[in-house]
Amino acid sequence: MTAVSVASPIAAGGGRPRIRRGSLWLGALLAIALVGPFVVSGYRVFQLSQVIVYAIALLGLNLLTGFSGQISLGNGAFYAIGGYVAVIVMTKAGLPYWAAPPIAGAVCFLAGSLFGRTATRLEGLYLALATFGLATATPQILKLDALESWTGGNQGIVITKPGSPVTGLINDDQWLYLFCLAVAIALFVIAWNMVRGRTGRALVALRDHPIAAATMGIDVAAYKTIAFGVSAMYTGVAGALGVLITGFISPDSFPTLVSIQFLVGSVLGGIASIFGTLFGAAFIELVPDLAKKASDAAPQAVFGVVLIACMMVMPGGLAGLVYSVRARLARGTIRRHRAES
Amino acid sequence: MQALLHQILSGLANGAIYASVALALVMIFKATHHVNFAQGELAMFSTYMAYELIHAGVPYWIAFFLTLVFSFIVGVAVERLIMRRMQHAPELASVIVFIGLLLAFNGFAGWIFSFTMKEFPSPFASKAWYGTTYLSSHEVGMIGVTLIVLAIVFAFFRFTRLGLAMRAAAENRPSSRLVGIRVGWMLALGWGLASALGAIAGMMAAPVVFLEPNMMGPILLYGFAAALLGGIDNPWGAPIGGFLFGVLENVAGAYLVGSHLKLALALVVIILVLVFRPSGLFGRTVVVRV
């Protein structure tokens, strides 16, 4: 097993009482998520929405890098594609806002599968190199003159944020937040089922021992391509939601740093975990705000130090830490039981 | 025709920078099988050091050599303190640590020196005898410095006992250890040398692209393309790949894709090489035994 697989929920397993406790936690989380935007106000609501958007993007990266073991440093590219597709669908085709995320997801699934199909030939480091190139080149490609009629060039495009249908009860920001939350819940459920099922087991097998997986009859190329496609789809949906909540898009919204900060959030939360993405997303949204008080460059410095520190002391991220602490506590209880009897 | 010649020659000049970066990448790759994503940022940090020294009144060439020493020490320190622990870690973990280093160096440079662009002096007088109508004297100097450095590096690895020991440590760790080579230190020295090579690239590039924390971003990507083109495990191939990519970038930028797509060009080169000829033009094909 690799170090990153520590947080794998598959490895953690769970008996019946744990599932009940798990659903308790889940219920509490959901309650907080539902009440959150009505307790805080203004900019904070936007930040909460952004956390959810990032969590979806991180989930996409985790499915690819954490579960199928393909290193991607370039998921920001799919975030950008998702955002632009959403804007184009809304402004050029005149479709309603709720149609944008699924269409963006579908387009990104195609784009991701195409890139993934090529990428199946690249392993480990080489894939990291290629996707790093993708991350670096994305801002330049977005500024391309030939695409200007679609992308609005350097100026970018402003969209009207969708309004709340029940204005007296829920304001626009809160409505957008709830919309993102609903999409996120659906995507989390899908991801949860996927990694626990046949596909998830195949991906983990590919990650941990590709040759053994191939001899077991797993179609390596097909599964790797699917992982890329699904990852791009998640990231694309996140990109579309991101545009909806900011109401603006331009090439400068997608610097190389976007891809890198996905990696930071995903590593901190636990790269092979599903709910760790929530910690990671909160971190990459909230910490730069705090760090910027020290210096404009401080967020990067903090991100860098966090990445290195994570790999040194908790390679499984926060989720991994939670699992190992829980495992240790469980072992302690067993030992106490034995001592008593 | 004249214009084409001009593009090719100044491509060679840019290629000199990519050649140094590519060689630095290959040195670390050969020894540790890591791709150093932080190579560019280390170089940028060293270049700031040179800038500070020059502005403190130190003559250029003394500052140049002091910077090499500084970046050598930083490289050794990074290896001994951080990368050493990543030796047996999975690839993903090492990539993450490298990206962490990249961010940290970039962030701290921005924090300490700010993101304002700074002019960095060239050691080559603007109207020197070796400047031609095709190449400015800085470009000629850049090529010259790179060729000299390459010669020194190859002589070091070919003719000295230390160089031989370093090659041995990179090639076969257990056997080297058995004949009494201190493998750990050899790897650290390799890191130091690579870091110093990067610093040279940084100091040569800074007068052209201006000094700022993000200046090495594109250059690093071109360095990757160059190293892959030449074969990432081939120390001879990497510099050749660097010069080749420099020419390709300039000619394609002038006639084919325009100056706004050079990074995408590098991406295309990287993917094409990886898909069709992963060993590069001069690399060895590695056959993995199951």
Render pLDDT for A164-205 as a digit per residue (tens, 0 to 9). Answer: 777 777 788 888 888 999 999 999 999 989 888 888 899 889
With H, G, I as helix, E, B as strand and everything else as coil, classify residue B211. Answer: strand
Q: Is A145's pLDDT higher than 50?
A: yes
CA distance A23 to chain B (A): 32
Q: Is B284 on the interface with A (CB under 8 A)?
A: no
CB atoms within 10 A of CB A231: 28
DSSP 8-state secondary structure symbol assigned to residue A13: -
CA distance readout (Å), B258 to B250, B263, B272, B276: 9, 11, 20, 25
For residue A130, give the nearest of B33, B92, B270 by CB distance: B270
Q: Which of residues 147-206 of A touch B (CB under 8 A)?
A: none
**Other residues' Cβ atoms within 10 Å of the Cβ of residue B157:** 17
* CB contact (8 A) between residue A297 and residue B111: yes
Average pLDDT, chain A: 83
Nearest CA in chain A to B279: A126
Q: How far is A109 from chain B (nearest CA, A)?
A: 20
Residue A7, pLDDT score: 42
A304·B104 Cβ contact <8 A: yes
Yes or no, beta carbons of B271 and A305 under 8 Å apart: no
Instruction: Name the B residues in 140-179 with CB < 8 Å from any A CB.
Output: none
User: Is A122 in the B-facing interface, judged by CB distances under 8 Å?
Assistant: yes
> What distance in Å separates the CA atoms of residue B6 and residue A107, rounded to the nearest whole number?
43
Do residue A121 and residue B108 have CB atoms under 8 angstroms apart? no
* Closest by Cα among B267, B226, B248, B249 to B29: B226
Is some CB atom of chain A closer than 8 A to the CB atom of B209? Answer: no
Residue A60 per-residue DSSP state: H
Q: So what's the pLDDT on residue A19? A: 56
A250 φ, ψ (degrees, to nearest 5): -155, 160
Q: What are phi and psi of A94, to 5 degrees?
A: 70, 25
What's the pLDDT at A98?
87
pLDDT of residue A1: 38
**Do the chains contact at B92 and A71, CB–CB below 8 Å?**
yes
Q: Are A280 and A268 in contact (CB under 8 A)?
A: yes
A91 touches chain B (CB under 8 A): no
Q: For residue A112, count CB atoms less than 10 angstroms from its CB and return exposed for 0-12, middle for 13-18, buried for 19 or more.
A: buried
Check: CB of residue A338 under 8 Å from CB of residue A331: no
Q: Give the pLDDT of residue B93.
A: 86
Is A106 an 8 Å CB contact of chain B? no
Q: Kindly state the average pLDDT of the residues A58-71.
A: 90
Q: How many residues does chain B have?
A: 290
What span, in angstroms and rounded, lies between the C-alpha atoms of B109 and B122?
Answer: 21
Shortest CA distance from A314: residue in chain B: B93
Q: Do A304 and B105 touch (CB under 8 A)?
A: yes
Residue from the list B82, B224, B263 with its beta carbon closest to the beta carbon of A140: B263
Query: What part of A 218-247 touches B (C-beta under 8 Å)?
Result: none
State the residue for tokens 């459920």. Answer: A189
Per-residue confidence in pLDDT tens, chain B, 290 aa: 788 888 888 889 999 999 999 999 998 988 888 889 999 999 999 999 999 999 999 999 999 999 999 999 999 999 999 888 888 888 888 888 999 999 999 999 998 898 888 888 888 877 767 667 777 888 888 899 999 999 999 999 889 999 999 888 888 888 999 998 998 899 999 999 999 999 999 999 999 888 999 899 889 999 999 999 988 888 888 899 999 999 999 888 888 777 778 888 888 888 888 888 877 777 776 666 65
Q: Does B90 touch chain A (CB under 8 A)?
A: yes
Is B99 in contact with A260 (Cβ distance < 8 A)?
yes
Nearest neighbour of A122 by CB, restricted to B86, B96, B274: B274
**pTM, to two decimals:** 0.87
First to last CA, chain A: 35
Say which residues have a Cβ less than 8 Å from residue B180's Cβ, sequence separation at least 6: none
Distance CA A316, CA A276 (A): 10
Flag whether residue B87 sits within 8 Å of chain A, measured between CB atoms. Answer: no
Nearest beta carbon to residue A141 from set B101, B213, B264: B264
**Does the beta-carbon distance from B101 to A65 stay under 8 Å?**
no
The whole-angstrom distance between A59's CA and the closest CA on chain B is 17
Provide the 8-state DSSP code for B277: -
What pLDDT band is residue A5 in, cutting at 50, 70 and 90?
very low
Between CA B221 and CA A133 the distance in angstroms is 6
Q: Do A298 and B109 touch (CB under 8 A)?
A: no
Percent of chain A predicted with pLDDT > 90: 21
**Mutant choice from B85, B92, B106 vs A, greatest count of A C-beta within 10 A:** B92
What is the distance between the alpha carbons of residues A205 and A71, in angstroms, rounded to a whole number?
Answer: 16
- Contact B111/A295, CB-based, under 8 Å? yes
